[in-house]
Amino acid sequence: MVGEKKWVPYILLIPWIIGFLLFKLYPFISSFVMSLYERRGRTSTFVGLKNFQLIFDQSTYLGSEFINSLKVTFTYVFVTVPLILIVSLLIAYVLALKIKGVGFFRTSFYMPTVLGANVAIIVLWRYIFEYNGLINQGLKLLGFAPISFLGTAAGAMTSIVLLRVWQFGSTMLIFLNALKNVPETLYEAATIDGASKFRQFFSVTIPMITPIILFNGVMRLVETFQVFNGPVLITNGGPERSTNVINKLIYDIAFLGGDLNVGTAMSWVLFVIIMMFTILIFRSSRYWVHYQD
Amino acid sequence: MKKALGLFILMTLSLIMVACEKEDENTISFAWWGTSDRNIATYQAIELFESKYPQYKVKGEQSSWNGYQESLNNKLNRGTEADVFQVNYNWIYSMYGEDYFMDITELGIDLSDYPENEHEPLTVNDKVLALSVSETGYIFYLNESVFKHEDTGDHLIDFGSGRWIPTTWEELMEAGDAINSTYSNKFALGRMDAQQVAIMMFSYLAQIYGKNVINDQNELNFTKDELIEGFNFITDLRSSGVLIPSNQMDTHIDGPTNPNWTSQKYGGILQWNTAISEYQNTLPSSANLVMAGMFQQDGALTTGMYKKVSMAYAVSKRVETSDTKKEAVKTFIEFMTTDPEAVAILGVDRGVSSNETTQDILKQVSNKDYINSLEWKGHQVVQTMFDAQLEDGIDLYIHPYYEHNTFRAIYEAPIESFLLNTINANEAATRIINRFNTELERVMEG
Amino acid sequence: MQANQRISSYRMKKKTTEVIKYIIIIVAAFVMLYPLLWIVGASFNRGANESFFFWPHDFTLVGWKESLQAPGWGSAQGYSLLRALWNTMQYVIPHVLLGTFSTLITAYVITRMHFKGKKLVFALIIGTLLMPNTIFRIPMYAFWTTPAISSIWEGNKIPFMGYLPLWLGSTFAVNSFSIFMFIQFFRTIPRDLDEAAYMDGANKMQVLWYVLMPVLKPIVITVALLLFIASFNDYQGPLIYITNAEFFPLSRVLPMLGLDSTNTYAHVYARSIVSVLILIIVFFAAQRYFVGNDADTAIKG
């Protein structure tokens, strides 16, 4: 440390600085600027907040599509995130108890996360939800009538929610490690006080891992607001636009339709929404997160 | 550290290489979309071109249909489009053809072998913005196997003297009943998506009322009651074994690969005659796909055949600036459309060209029976019916914005909901009427 | 008597909880894995597998035999799954190598060196951690497709160059999550290790390579694996940047694998499995380091 050249850190940071300026700051500002312009052919004109007015105007095609995709995305997020948290916490809890072959189970739960995000599997997921697909075959075996997943709004939403929840593995691993770090002494104390295992889960386990719940919750929230692959490859936004999430609409408008300006306006609304929720959750964390200090 | 340096050098080198590559005016870039057969044939034609005209080189940019439109859109916005590129009829309007596409008459291409009005829909402000590759219309094609009894091989329906192909909607529904009552999972047609049902409905309404769905003032030509009548017609088809009762039962989006089609449960489709080969390719050899034209309505005013230019070759405006390039592009396009060997290779995969010379060549190709192909047969029906309609003063040419990406959702979305049985005919008709005119006006303004 | 009863009822409770535990886990694992198993089984089945049971009733190997060939979307140019795989590697490999390297260096500088503005840099990294990607996508697309820039990479046949937009970012440490993971891990390594090396006269970089690397190996592999998975599975990136069929990577090819005159269901499934095989292999290879590390670093925040 002594006699270390002062400029070394700065030189080594240059890649990051370039990355930040070119790949983060520049697009961030540029996207806002772009949203204030309108384009006809190859010329752009400044139109102020017109694009934002347009996308919130229910009477136009664009507006009604955008409002619809907001509703769809909100539904998706607020169903999927709690489901992921609950399922992964539950499984992690069971795994944290002494289980034979815990390595096998851990891997098998993590596999879908690795594979499930791959385009190949998502495409095949479609076959699973088809009218004659795997799930309906299973229902037939159990004596139930087949459900048209991809033909109904609720069914289609179910299929993309299930696709994401199926990939709960990574969230589960994080919980698993957090559970391992809860001191045994707390459990022992609770047992002495006469609390059942069930009760202990709520009075000891959960409070101790609230920081991780916060972390996972926020990460998943930010991620699910931007869901793309499932709605595009499995349901194509349908049926009847019931799975037309925002990211897909932005893709349709900006890349398919060529209107980058409205696309950036939509991205900014999405960004503000995500930021608002993130801040909200962090603010609220004061009341329910316990830090081990 | 070393890695970063190495990468830096690599990038500089490639930058230098790019800078050194001068714009070669004898190289033509040609972009198209297609599937396996078309791609192979196109590359063969390109090779042939380069051998016949060694001074020219062609850079082929093959793409799938998926993603072609968006990438073309972006390339046009940036000025990086190919020199010659395949376009859909309506893109001339929605992609600012006036600003980006060159007037092909300036290339000196001979348009005299094409019918007089062929290029009118492709002309904006007296500029012909693309060369028509072929025209197309929606035609019904039926799979004979579905119309036969599985065990005996006899036809399940006979309209007299052994004729099993229906000619009217009435007969179609009779056939549907016959098929569906014998095999509950088989249908005379099967599943149709919103796009196909739209054109079928508008064709039916055209037959009854003699009107094009969009009139000269760019407005919807049908009243709410007339639309409801159209929807009721669809309901009739669904209750007589022609169409599946609800699209919830079958959610496969892709027609040719739909297992119900490939396993011969669905007896027919309504499709552009230029796109029929995709459906034929997925059927087993026991199937027999035949052309069935457009079903008629007793006492109708007209035959109800819509048509449009199916695809066209557009030329980038940048070609205008160089005489050498212009000559090269002209030679290439003329080669692809009228050179006997090229035409024999490319066949009718992009449809039957309206160019008389090209048609003569196709007829004379000895080893391929193009005249009896499904595309050609469909093409003949389209042209005959359309010309007869014109003589009656009825013009059913597809409106330039009918297939516009965002506009089509106005009529396709209610139809889709109707097919999924979530709304009834009244609601569907109302929804279409509410937005049709305003949205059309909005997209036409650009 | 009472004591015995209490003990036996306690034992009963223990047994039932054991049983319930295993039931939950096994059922969950079954639900998780069965679709994958079914897909494998279907790849050996000639027709559509219309049953719940995964075992093929019409066994065929044809799907696997022809799994690497041109899946019908190709042309005379002979595209095949291997070609698509190579295309994929052309952006995955630079992304993983450069990404791991640049984020490692950046994290090292932040945790082990002193300089003005360290707090600011750290805050910016955490700030961009939660920033949704969507906001960057469109302007970057506009940037990469301006005529001057697009002539550098679009259609460029030099290996790796044709996919520049998909990996250049990682050269410049844009992956905030990776930086974050490295930082957390560095914090768990005691400085004594560094100090000892300095005593022996080593400089900063030497310390990193020779002293800390062995300890860092697990986290480096973890970060590399995560970058690999993310890049390999990327769909929207290739969708908007790669438009020339010659350059299609797996993500663009796989949705187009449909049935046609030459492809049966067996083909479709077999090709999909082959495509993810790489993922599976890489995952299992790196797995030993991975499981457990991801969580550790994430918590201490």
> What CATH number is given to the structural domain containing B317?
3.40.190.10
Nearest to C243 among B7, B35, B63 (CB): B63
Mean pLDDT of B247-270: 87
Tell me if A7 is assigned to some domain: no
One domain, residues B243 and B359: no
User: Is the pTM of the predicted complex or chain greater than 0.95?
Assistant: no
Q: For position C298, what pLDDT does the model report?
A: 42
Count CB-CB contacts under 10 A for residue C147.
Answer: 11
Residue B406 to residue A15, Cβ atoms within 8 A: no
Tell me the residue type at B208. I
Q: CA–CA separation, A9 vs A22, rounded Å?
A: 20
Residue A115 lies in a domain: yes
Q: Tell whether A15 is covered by a domain.
A: no
Q: What is the pLDDT along chain C (301 residues), one digit of tens a residue?
A: 678 888 888 788 778 878 888 888 888 888 888 888 888 888 887 766 667 777 777 777 777 777 676 554 444 455 677 888 899 999 999 999 999 999 999 999 898 888 888 899 999 998 888 888 888 999 999 899 887 888 888 878 888 988 999 999 888 988 898 998 898 888 888 888 788 887 877 777 777 787 788 888 888 988 998 899 999 999 999 988 887 777 888 888 877 665 555 566 777 788 888 888 888 888 888 877 654 444 444 443 3
SS (H, E, C) A200-218: HHHHHHHHHCHHHHHHHHH
Per the structure, the complete domain to which residue B364 belongs is given by 2-135+309-374
Q: Which pairing describes strands B84-88 and B27-33: parallel, antiparallel, or unpaired?
A: parallel
pLDDT digit string, tens, across residues A113-122:
888 888 888 8
Among B341, B374, B407, where does a domain finish?
Answer: B374
Residue type for position A241? R
Question: Percent of chain A beyond pLDDT 70?
Answer: 97
In a shared domain, residues B271 and B285: yes
Compare all CA atoms of chain A with the CA of C240 and give the residue at the minimum distance.
A255
* Nearest residue of C to residue B45, measured between CA atoms: C76
Query: How many domains, chain A?
Result: 1
**In contact, B190 and B243? CB cutoff 8 Å:** yes
- If asked whether residues B299 and B320 sit together in one domain, one would say no
The candidate with the shortest Cα–Cα distance to C182, out of C224, C139, C240, is C224
Q: Is residue A138 part of a domain?
A: yes
Interchain pair A120, C38: CB under 8 A: no
> What is the CA C251 to chain-centroid distance, rounded?
13
pLDDT tens profile B86-132: 999 999 988 888 888 999 999 888 899 999 889 999 999 999 999 99
Residues of chain A whose C-beta is under 8 A from some C-beta in B? 15, 39-42, 60-62, 130-132, 148-152, 236, 238-241, 255-258
- What percent of chain A shows pLDDT beyond 90? 38
Single-letter amino acid code for the residue at A90: L
Q: Are B271 and B255 in contact (CB under 8 A)?
A: yes
Q: Kindly report the nearest CA distance between residue C226 and chain A, in angstroms.
A: 9
Neighbours of B158 (CB within 10 A): 12
B361 and B381 part of one domain: no
pLDDT above 70: residue A64: yes
- φ, ψ for residue A264 (rounded to 5)? -70, -35
Q: Which of B17, B71, B254 sits opposite C243 (nearest CB)?
A: B71
Q: Closest Cα partner for C177 from C139, C140, C127? A: C127
The rounded distance, in Å, linking the Cα atoms of A229 and A160 is 9
Q: What is the pLDDT of residue B402?
A: 93
CA distance C8 to chain B (A): 55
CB contact under 8 A, C22 and A20: no
Q: Is the pLDDT of residue B23 over 70?
A: no
Interface test with A, best of C16, C103, C137 (most A CBs within 10 A): C137
Cross-chain Cβ contact C17/A31 below 8 Å:
no
Cβ-based contacts of B75 with chain C (< 8 Å):
145
Look over chain B and give the mean of its residue pLDDT values, rounded to a whole number.
89
Measured between CA atoms, how close is C43 to chain B, in angstroms? Answer: 16
**Residue C66: CA atoms inside 13 Å, Cβ hemisphere, count?**
13
Q: Verify that B235 and B147 share a domain, yes or no.
A: yes
What confidence tens digit (pLDDT) does each residue in A203-255 have? 888 888 888 899 899 999 999 999 999 898 888 887 888 999 999 999 988 88
Does residue B307 contact residue B92 with C-beta atoms inside 8 Å?
no
Query: Does A252 fall in a domain?
Result: yes
Residue B224 and residue B315 in one domain: no
Whether B128 and B111 have beta carbons less than 8 Å apart is answered as yes
**Cα(C248)–Cα(C166) distance, integer angstroms:** 13
- CA atoms of B255 and A108, how far apart (whole Å): 36
Task: Tell me how far apart the alpha carbons of residues C284 and A289 are, in angstroms, rounded to a whole number.
Answer: 35
The CATH code of the domain that includes A276 is: 1.10.3720.10
- At B63, is the secondary structure helix, strand, or coil? strand
A91–C136 CB contact, under 8 Å: no
Between the alpha carbon of residue C58 and those of residues B22, B311, C55, C261, the distances in Å are: 58, 42, 9, 19
Cα distance between residue A256 and residue A249, in whole Å: 10
Let me know whether B274 and B403 are in one domain.
Answer: yes
* Inside any domain, residue A55: no
Statement to judge: residues B320 and B241 lie in one domain: no
Is C272 in Cβ contact with A123 (below 8 Å)? yes
Q: Judge contact between A13 and C125, C-beta under 8 A.
A: no
Mean pLDDT for the stretch of residues A154-166:
92
For residue B76, list chain A residues with Cβ-Cβ distance below 8 A: 258
Give φ, ψ of A56 to 5 degrees. Answer: -100, 5
- Reported as type and span, the H/E element at residue B312 is strand B307-315
In this prediction the ipTM stands at 0.86
- Burial letters for B374-398: b for 16+ Cβ neighbours within 10 Å, e otherwise? bbbbbbebbbebbeebeeeebebbb
pLDDT in tens, A24-50: 999 999 999 999 998 876 778 898 899
List, as own/partner pairs, every contact residues B404-407 make where C-beta atoms lie below 8 angstroms and the sequence separation is at least 24, other chains included: B404/B90, B404/B93, B404/B94, B404/B443, B405/A256, B405/A257, B405/B69, B405/B94, B406/A61, B406/A62, B406/A257, B406/B439, B406/B443, B407/B439, B407/B440, B407/B443
**Are B320 and B225 in contact, with CB atoms under 8 Å apart?**
no
Instruction: Count how many residues are written for chain C.
Output: 301
User: Nearest-CA distance from A32 to chain B in Å?
Assistant: 20
Same domain, residue pair B398 and B322: no
Which residues lie below 8 Å from residue B155, measured CB to CB, with a gap of 6+? B147, B148, B149, B162, B164
Of the two residues C300 and B388, the one the predictor is more confident about is B388
User: Cβ of B114: how many Cβ atoms within 10 Å?
Assistant: 18
Rg (CA), chain B: 24
What DSSP state is assigned to residue B32?
A: E
User: Which chain B positions have a beta carbon within 8 Å of A130's beta carbon?
Assistant: 251-252
For residue B53, give how far its alpha carbon lies from the nearest alpha carbon of chain C (Å): 21
- B425-445 and B224-239 helices, crossing angle to 10°: 120
Mean pLDDT in residue range A186-204: 83
Q: Nearest 5°: CA angle at C182, between C177 and C187? A: 130
Alpha-carbon distance of B56 to A133, in angstroms, equals 52
The residue whose two tokens read 């934002």 is A52
pLDDT tens per residue, range B277-294: 888 888 888 889 999 999
Residue A190 in any domain: the answer is yes
pLDDT for the residue C299: 40
Domain boundary among B322, B351, B374: B374
Alpha-carbon distance of C170 to C100, in angstroms, equals: 8
Helix (H) or strand (E) holding B133: strand B131-143
Q: How many domains does chain B have?
A: 2
Residue C298: its chain A contacts at CB < 8 A?
A: 174, 212, 215
B394 backbone φψ class: left, alpha, beta (φ>0; ψ -120 to 50): beta
According to DSSP, the residues that pair with B131 across neighbouring strands are B313
Q: Beta partners for B28?
A: B58
Spatial CA neighbour of C227 closest among C135, C129, C94: C94
Asked whether the beta carbons of A255 and A79 are under 8 A apart, the reply is no
Tally of CB atoms within 10 A around A98: 8
Structure letter (DSSP) for residue B291: E
The torsion angles phi and psi of B125, rounded to 5 degrees, stand at: 55, 45
B213 three-state secondary structure:
coil
B267 lies in the same domain as B152: yes
Nearest to C177 by CA among C220, C223, C208: C223
Does residue B220 sit in the same domain as residue B111?
A: no
Please report whether residue A48 resides in a domain.
no
CA dihedral B209, B213, B214, B216 (to 10 degrees): -30
Is residue B226 within 8 A of residue B436, CB to CB? The reply is no
> Which tokens belong to A118?
């791959």
Chain C residues whose C-beta is within 8 A of a chain B C-beta are: 48, 72-77, 97-98, 101, 141, 145-147, 150-152, 154, 156, 158, 161, 171, 205, 239-240, 243-246, 252, 255-256, 258-261
Query: What's the domain range around A152?
Result: 61-288
Q: Could you tell me the sign of the dihedral formed by the alpha carbons of B96, B102, B104, B105, in that order?
A: positive
For chain C, list the contacting chains (3+ Cβ pairs, <8 Å): A, B
Q: Calculate mean pLDDT across residues A132-161.
A: 87
**Min CA distance, B389 vs chain C (Å)?**
37
Task: Answer for the pair B80, C147: CB distance below 8 angstroms, yes or no.
Answer: yes
Closest-CA residue of A relative to C299 is A212
- The token pair at B88 is 């859909």
Query: Among B32, B139, B134, B33, which Cα is nearest to B352's?
Result: B134
Q: Distance, in angstroms, between B384 CA and closest chain A CA?
A: 36
Look-up of token digits 């925002």 = A246
Cβ separation C32–A108 shorter than 8 A: yes
Do B316 and B398 lie in one domain? The reply is no
Q: Is the dihedral of CA C217, C218, C220, C225 positive or negative?
A: positive
Distance of CA B179 to the CA centre of its chain: 29
Last-in-domain residue among B352, B374, B396? B374
Residues in chain A closer than 8 A to C108 (CB atoms): 12
pLDDT, one tens digit per residue, over B137-179 is 999 999 999 999 988 888 998 888 889 999 999 999 999 999 9
Backbone angles phi, psi at A45, to 5 degrees: -125, 145
**Mean pLDDT, rounded, of chain A:** 87
